Amino acid sequence: MENKIGSALIVVGDASETLDTLYPYYRLIEAGIKPVVIAPEKRLYQMVMHEVKPGWTITKEWEGYTIEADLSFSEVNEADYLGIFFSGGRAPEYIRYDTDLVRITKYFFEQNKPIASVCHGVEIPAYADCVRGRRMATVPKCQFDLESCGGTFVDEPCVVDGNLISGRTYRDNGHFLGAWIKLLEEAATRQPVRAQA
């Protein structure tokens, strides 16, 4: 995989949403940025597809594609990466408690590096106490998580709050991902990035 300007992290676990994950993965490659998938363990993960079907009041879930994690959270040296993406789906509900993921998340917020989040991805920075005073889009069912942790819910397809870019669901991918890619490209011109092993 060609790595022209640097690498960025994509956070997943079992039941990460397929479109939330694969769209940014391939957009990074198009931009010449190496996507590095991180998860609780270095192994294959089962993604899912989510949709609220007509007449349903809850989300229906189907199996989607699988994705291989390049690194476990414990193996990540966060200083090596331009930015981070928090994918949605059900995965954030359980991976947010991983102490290494909390460490990684806090680093990107503290260093003001490019961060993107979609749908349930907000649950990770919320748990890590990184959304206080920040404006974010997320799926409406996660509004409580965001606001309980001090953030402000914005029901728009792309919310830009400094280094933090967010969207509500995969339906917003075409609206908010470009803004994150632009921040990554700008970050790459400001600082040298160490080569990946």
DSSP string, 150-174: T-EE--SS-EEETTEEEESSGGGHH
Whether the predicted pLDDT of 1 surpasses 80: no
Q: What is the pLDDT of residue 105?
A: 98
- Tell me the two tokens of residue 88: 């949605």
pLDDT tens-digit map of 2-49: 557 899 999 999 999 999 999 999 999 999 999 999 999 999 999 998
Q: What's the start-to-end Cα distance of the chain, in Å?
A: 13
Mean pLDDT estimate for the chain: 94
Q: What is the dihedral of CA 177, 96, 109, 76, to 10 degrees?
A: -90
pLDDT tens-digit map of 39-98: 999 999 999 988 877 887 777 788 999 999 999 999 999 999 999 999 999 999 999 999
Phi, then psi, of 194 in degrees rounded to 5: -65, 145
Which fold is adopted by the domain 6-190? Rossmann fold (3.40.50)
Whether the predicted pLDDT of 135 surpasses 70: yes
